[in-house]
Structures are given as structure tokens and as C-alpha cells.
Structure 1
Amino acid sequence: MMQVLPIQSAATTKECLPHGRLIVLTGPSGVGKGTLMRVLLQRHPELYYSVSMTTRSPRSGEINGKNYYFVSRSKFEQLVAQGEFLEWAEFAGNYYGTPREVVLNQVNSGKLVVLEIELEGARQIRASFPSAHSIFILPPSFEELEKRIRGRAQDSEEAIARRLRRAQEEIQAADEFDVQIVNDDFETALNALEAELFG
């Protein structure tokens, strides 16, 4: 399920983009997007990482406001009704969304803004921001992805099955994106990501 509220016309958005740059990073659950982002931000503090909002519970070690903004379902739905999201989607039974105002302000102020979001949200951002640079992170194989998801030991068997079904659909969409990077060797994938952002 995906619902998006109109925020502003694509023409208006495009006028903003020469001042900054919007990077959309996506890929299936368990592919290593979060780890790549953490190291990228350590190496490049000048990047602005847009923290998403979610209704899912924090995982061990996750910090509110740093990894995600964790809110209740009712609070999220209230923000949707107020038009506060650039995009939002329901994934694996939880809502995820990108706060609108902060992202637009950062892009307009000349920052390189990185969004790490789910496929449906990434598609909507690409429709709203045609100049956004979109990057899809792929696993070396589906078997390796399943191994990584199971290795987290954080989800029930039912949740794992949902994630794997979703991952198959997402991987088929990789060609929609400007660049595909395979996260097999971590340093190689990180270097390829840096080359896309700064090359």
C-alpha cells in the first residue's frame, strides 16, 4: 500500500535542485543500506542524511532522532493528514515516511541530501524530483540476502517470509534506478557509492 500527498509541482521542485542535490538510496531489506550509510556519514560529515519516521519499534541500539523518528501509528496518520511527508508508505506492517520540510530546506540551502528509503517511496521521490540521483543496492545473490535477514535474529519466521517476498519484487525493480551497486564486498560497494556521490 502506498499513498502520497502532493507537495508541490515538479516544475517548482526542479527550480530548487540546482542549489543542492537529492540522492535516493534504496534496496531490499537486509542488503546493507544502513551499514553503508553509517560509514558514509562518518567519512563525509558534510552530507545531510534525512532521518525517516516510522511506526515500527526500535531495534537494539537504535536511537530516536538518529536512526529513525519513532512515533505511534496514530501520530503518523495525523502527520499524513497534515501533509507533512514528502513520501510515505506501509512496509511489513509499519509506516515509513520522509519529513517534507527539512529535506526541501536542506536541498535549497545547497546541501547534498541523502534519503535511504523503501522502493515505493523512492519511486515517488523520482516522480517528484526528476533530477534526483537514484541508487539501488543489490545483494550478491538472493540466497545471501536470505542469510543476512535470518542472521539478524530480530524477526519472526512470518516477518522473514514477508521480507523475502518483498525483496524479490524489489530486486526486479533495480533497473528503474540510475545506478545499481552490488553489496558483496563492503569496501568495494562503499567506494562505488562514494564515486556516485562525489565523482
Structure 2
Amino acid sequence: MVLAGPTAVGKGTVAAHVRQHHPEVWLSVSATTRPPRPGEVDGHHYFFVDDAEFARLEEEGQLLESAVVHGRARYGTPRGPVVQALAEGRPALLEIDLQGARQVREAMPEALFVFLAPPSWDELVHRLVGRGTESEEEREVRLRTARTELAAADEFDVIIVNDDVARATEQLVSLMVDPNPDKDS
């Protein structure tokens, strides 16, 4: 399953809730060239790598998808752990951006693609400003990107509105059991 949505919609929060309440679900850990935010742990939240290491992973075909996000940092999903989790029959969740979701759709069209949407644009802005981890310039870049990402919601198999983290998490996990729900939630 691929979970994507605009910046600050709560993808990481929902993924953390899945990790805490559904240990049966395997969560992919992305590689990134951005620096860690306060409290993030290498190998748990992301694999923090430099540009040279990221380029090596790409060149060797070790990334299922990769993208430059918000015109700055590079992100990618290591292929090996995903393939291993699927081979073990574990429900697998990739929390990635829109560009990455499009690449995974090309590589693994059998995956279920879920778009996490905010309750409203104002709430998305509030969440981005409220987390206080970006400069004003970075927030503006992320909000411009978010408008484009929101317009892509129809590319996904299912849309979940993240108006309550526990509810959104349960909807997401239930899709791993019944992957043929109504399109909109």
C-alpha cells in the first residue's frame, strides 16, 4: 500500500500511529538527503544520507522510487526491504510523496494507492505553520507544492480525509484487509 498526500497533511503522524498500534504492518523507511528534524532517528524515521550516497543508491537501482521534493531534498524508498516484506507476506506500507507514488505505480501497479487529504486548505496551512520546523520561505515552497499535490487526488484508488488520526489510521489499516472499498472515504 502506498500512502501519499500533500505536505503537512499528517502522513508521518498516521504512519507513526500505524507503527504504534499495528505492529503487524511493515512500514518502509525512506532515505533522504534532508537533515533530521528534532526527535527524528536515523534508520527509524528516515535513513539520512548525503548526496553522494543517495546518488550511489539510485545508480545501483537500489531505490524503488526517488524524487527531489519541494525543490530541495532528495527522498527515495529502498527497494530491498519492500521486496523482502512482500515476500514474507507482511502487509507493507510506503509513506511517500506524489512523485514517488507515481513511480511506484509504474513499478508495482498492483499496489493500492491511498491519498491522505486534509479536512480543508486552512487546516493544512495551520498544520504546516504549527509544526514550526520550516522557515517562512520553506513554508511558501511547501504550500505551492501542496496545491499541486491536492489536485492529484483523483490519481489514487482511495481518498482518506485526515480529520482524526486514529480514524484515518483504522481506515488505512482496514484497506489492507479489504482492498476493494468505495473510492472515497
Query: Unpaired segments of 5 or more residues in structure 1?
Result: 1-22
Alignment RMSD: 1.0
Percent of matched pairs sharing the same residue: 46
The residue aligned with 2:116 is: 137
Query: Unpaired segments of 5 or more residues in structure 2?
Result: 179-185
TM-score by length of 2: 0.92
1:133-172 to 2 correspondences below 5 Å: 133-172=112-151
Answer whether contact 2:114 2:157 (CA < 8 A) is retained: yes
Give the Å deviation of 1:187. 2.8
Give the Å deviation of 1:75. 1.3
Paired residues, number: 177
The residue aligned with 1:45 is: 23
Deviations 1:82-109 (A, max 9, x none): 2211110000200000011111121122
SS at match of 1:131: coil
2:158 is equivalent to residue 179 of structure 1? yes
Large movers: runs of 4+ above 4 Å = none
1:24-103 to 2 correspondences below 5 Å: 24-92=2-70, 93-103=72-82
TM-score by length of 1: 0.86
Answer whether contact 2:5 2:97 (CA < 8 A) is retained: yes
Give the Å deviation of 1:185. 2.4
Give the Å deviation of 1:163. 0.4
Deviations 1:64-83 (A, max 9, x none): 00000001111111221222
Query: How far apart, in 2, do the equivalents of 1:187 and 1:64 lie?
Result: 25
Q: Which one-letter code corresponds to 1:47 in the other structure?
A: V
The residue aligned with 1:19 is: none
Deviations 1:102-147 (A, max 9, x none): 1112112211111000101101111211110110000011111011
1:12-23 to 2 correspondences below 5 Å: 23=1
